[in-house]
Structure 1
Amino acid sequence: MADAGNAGATPAVASSRDPYLDFVRSWAIMRVVAVHLLGIAPIALLWWPAPTFVAPGMPLVFFVAGALALKSLDPWRKRHATPKEFWLDRFRRLLLPFWVYLAVALTITVTLDLVNPGAAFDIDYRRAALTAVPLLNPLTSPAGYLGMVHLWFLVAISWLLIAAPGLVWLHRRYPRLLLGGVIAVALAVPLLGIHTAASFFPEISSIALFAFFFVLGFWYTDGFLVGGVVPGRRTGVFDGWSGAAIAGAAFAAAWVVWQVHQPGSINDSHLLHGFLGLGWLALILVGRPWIARLANAMPRTLNTLNRRALTLYLWGWPTTAMSAEIVRWWGLNGAFGTVVFFLLAIASLVAAVAIFGRVEDFAARRTTSSTDATRSVKADVAPSPVQGAANA
């Protein structure tokens, strides 16, 4: 990448937020919720699984997480968090909402185990106890699988947050080597079948894939992907036609993977997920000037969505799955059943966010009077490392 040898140069600091990143993260979370709804609806809609191929959300979430991690930890900034401060902040925000969700999910699972003698309800209590620290994919019982299946995300992000100080250190000293390394690992794990052989640690596949997007976020913060992120740096690798060319190459690679493997959805192939994720991210980076203007026009909406991002993710899937089961139990199907499903799922998610959303505020040490995140801030500057972490 151009000027990669200067990736350690100190970017100027002018603002506490980047509304563009707020928009990307909000879009990603709402896209995940929408795809979960479409994927389990009584009637297949929008040529399912086609929606899974449109702007996949998880690559964007990890990209934003990486961008914010560098803002917090960057040793080249005068004000930066220590690894201990970073870990305490990030894991407090992550674990408190997760523990509340886990308490509800485990209560339901244990109750089902007590009142149902079938093997489907038997709990692996040893593995269930390990779910409190999301370093392995959470498991409870076969019947409780639906309540845990989406929590793989917390495992992948936890490992990357643990590694973040080391990754930032490597990025500041060997930026190209680090980027090349995560690309090589992301390709090697699925191509060599490492994720299948490593049955003791299947989480390696997700960590390997999303580490690439996490590290790519570092390059965004340094201003090498698009111009305008760092004052004085007007162009980036993904600006204009070069970004469009990268997107085209990534989509072409995704098409080849799809032709070879014919996966049902994007989640069935990590290679497909990676190439499509890169292609869409490239387009989103090309469109940064327009997205930034849109983000600056809706600060309150973005603030609300970002304050509830983790709550929406944690509760979006289980409320959707529960609504599908209720509609099935009522014997509803067809168009009417689908309408009832959507109304019930959305109402359930809104209720869950209303009930449990304050936990996210408590974990982030926010108050209801906080207004700093609602201000319209120009998106052509990078947040300061400490305030960016506090408001992310």
Structure 2
Amino acid sequence: MLITSGRKFLLAVVCAVAVATIYVAQPVLAEIGTGLGVPESDLGWIVAAGQVGYVVGLAVLVPLGDMWDRRRLIGMQLLLAAAGTLLAAFSLSSWMLLVGLATTGLFAVVVQTAVAFAADLSSPAERGRTLGAVTSGVILGILGARVLAGAVADLWGWRSIYVGLTLLLIALALFVLWLLPADRRPHRKTYRGVVSSLGQLFREPLFVSRGSIAFFLFASFGTLWSGLALPLSADPWRLSPAQIGAFGIAGLVGALGATRAGRWADTGRADLVTGVSLGLLAASWIASAQASWSLPLVILGVIVLDFAVQAAHVSNQSLLTSAHPNETSSVIGGYMMFYSLGSALGATTTTALYATAGWTGSAVLGAVFALGGLLAWPLGRKTVAKTPCNPCDDGSAA
């Protein structure tokens, strides 16, 4: 069955809202810290809590996508994520908030179920483009969450953000159950078999190399977006949450600019796109490091960083799903473990380092992570060369 434009859009929205639940705290970290008495050096744990839950979900929940009807699984996970955001909205202490965010992160792995479902509904020749469209929802959710969260927090406080997310998650669960096709597969795997195959992936060079790139890619990404609110809310700028969140618009521009990465992957250029993107990621920190005196340079750095991250991310997933067409949920879930660990590392280290070395220290850290990705890239190039490419057209679509 070929995926329709409407189904692509719905799955992209699912990805956007689900992933937003983990990242909406970033532009309002200072407000949450003030409200719940969290020290500045520990603010990164508010973001990391969702990432920790996410890692657990990737290990124990995503494999279910290779066993169960993914339409029902997506609906159920959206409702359970809504329970987590509701707990966060009414938290009375930092620990209650962390439990709510960890619960939300656990079921936010619905993103991977949605991406795998989209890949399976696509023909091989269109898979890269479908992944590009659906995973664009991930980046749009991460960045759009900042724009909306800042504005909503200015109007009604940070708790209202999680109330709104709860309502959105419930509505999406109903739309998914109503509009997506049933996921009927003739051969169902056992949970033990799926988990065993996931473990075997960690011994595969292609998977490990692409996962390593994702780890450094999103550690650098997390360093920027979990730490940028701190220098922007300090002297000389003193920006409000809404103004800080507006920097997400620049990120959206960069991410949308990378939507053609899926088309490039369909024409056999996924590995080249990855290498160029990692180079751009490292270079973006030259501009982002100037947050103490130049907002235009920060905006430039944000655009380049988000373009690079989205392009490399789509290319990585295209290569992995092409190599494992019958285990898309497991391979994407395993790959995203690297993503989540990298994001958590970036979130916790950037706020801790900022407290001692300022934004310059955080920027150096982000650049080091990017260079780590560049060093990991050549290690997997031989395995990429052996991976069969998806059938594609004559290249004109690129």
TM above 0.5, one fold? Answer: no
TM-score, normalised by the number of residues in structure 2: 0.35
TM-score, normalised by the number of residues in structure 1: 0.36
Mark the structure with the bigger radius of gyration. Answer: 1
Higher normalized contact order (CA 8 Å, seq sep 6+, divided by chain length): 1
